[in-house]
Amino acid sequence: MGGCNATLLIAYACLAIGIAMAAGPARGQGPMDAAVKSAVAGMEEELVQIRRHIHSHPELSNREVETAKFVVQKLREFGFGARDIRTGIANNGVIALLQGTRARPVVAIRADMDALPITEATGLPYASEVTAEYTGKTVGVMHACGHDVHTAVLLGAAKTLHGMRDKVPGTVVFIFQPCEEGAPPGEEGGASLMVTEGALEDPRPDAFFALHVSPEVEVGQLGYTSGPTCAAVDRLKITVRGASGHAAYPWLTHDPVVTAARVISALQTVHSREVDTRQPSVVSIGIIEGGMRWNIIPDEVKLEGTVRTHNEEVRAFIKQRIDEIVGGVCESARCTAEVEWHAYGPALINDPELAEQVATWLKRLVGEENVVVLEPTMGGEDFAYFTQIAPGAFYRLGVRPEGVDEMAPLHNEKFAPDEGCLPLGVRSMCAVVLDYLEGSGQ
């Protein structure tokens, strides 16, 4: 069976390559690919410098003050006027506008700017040595999700497109977004706050695009997903309350420890027995907290975890069933339960038509064999909020060094993207903008 499938796949692949060679557009032959390519070739060193500056000066979510200043300084250097730059959006966000040869269509491209509370261990000469205060503790700060690359790429695209603004057939909105990783407790931020502040209303984009570095994809390659791309993220807190007492006399207590264990086990049936298992969903508990002493049954146990889904109906159903299951298990054990929900963001659904267009544009840049189709992830991405305003597509920039099978993943202290990704990041963003504006002539 496996052999047959492999042969078939190879046959299809050969057929696809054959068709691409016979009828597909030649590589690098888009509306302004050659001009973009030579502009980007002239800034390769600058892109590395920008990325390394941001990398060695990382700032946590909602604290991107210096990063935002650096972005503004670069935009001014690239020729953006003070009136074309808005700052202080959703705390530290920056939005720059570029009007080309006509006002509409309007296309938005976005980079996120925040770093993570992780102590860097890459050993690179420009590694971060920054520390900061996070939830009352001093922590290392690191760009371990590639947002330094994203910001450098968006600045590169801003410089390139500004340099050819008399050939840009529409308006480009450059979104430098703060706080993608989630606001510290008690704060708001990120894409949702940008949207609720009305920052994307004037002008209102007709489409949104963004890229994210991917350690799964080799440098020089790009990846995309059509339809559901990232998951809706919900955080849940469960408090199981019972009655405390001596651990030697459990029959005199209502034990929340045993009950919490039953709650955790019962939650494992949500995906396996409650939801259509063909629908992606995850229920994970990450924190169990309770008790003070080995011989005391406590009066309370707290659990915290996350639910990930790709579909709003499934999301609502899982919430409802978790409320019911937790309530039922606790009641049967003479305990009470409180379930709190915090929504971090909806699922990111790539507009299928736009995603296929993006794939076509990317294939033109790097060749069909270098654009990979990726599975949807259960990770979250708050770019989803922008795609509730207008259709959007999110794609991946390969950063795994050539010849390396596995590299440290995102959010890891050793994550070190191959900087060779930077020029292609810029070229791909420019192609997406120019092709979209060309193709949406009004």
The binding site for Zn ion (CB under 5 A) comprises 145
Nearer to Zn ion, 145 or 421 (CB): 145
Judged by beta carbon, residue 145 or residue 168, the one nearer Zn ion is: 145
Residue environment code for 357-379, b if the CB has 16+ CB neighbours within 10 A, otherwise e:
bbbebbbbbbbbebbbebebbbe
Least Å from the CB of residue 266 to Zn ion: 30
CB 57 → Zn ion: shortest distance, Å?
18
* Least gap, CB of 381 to Zn ion (angstroms): 7
Q: What is the C-alpha separation between 158 and 174, in angstroms, rounded?
A: 7
Residue number, 68 or 144, with CB nearest to Zn ion: 144
Q: For Zn ion, give the closer residue by CB, 145 or 179.
A: 145
- Closer by beta carbon to Zn ion, 68 or else 297: 68
Around 394, how many Cα atoms within 13 Å sit in the side-chain half-sphere? 28
By beta carbon distance, the residue nearest Zn ion is 145
Query: Which residue, 115 or 219, has its beta carbon nearer to Zn ion?
Result: 115
Count Cα neighbours of 273 within 13 Å in the Cβ-side half-sphere.
8
| Minimum CB–partner distance for residue 206 and Zn ion (Å) | 25
Least distance (Å) between residue 37 CB and Zn ion: 27
Residue with tokens 């920008």: 50
In the complex, the smallest distance separating the C-beta of residue 77 from Zn ion, rounded to whole angstroms, is 26
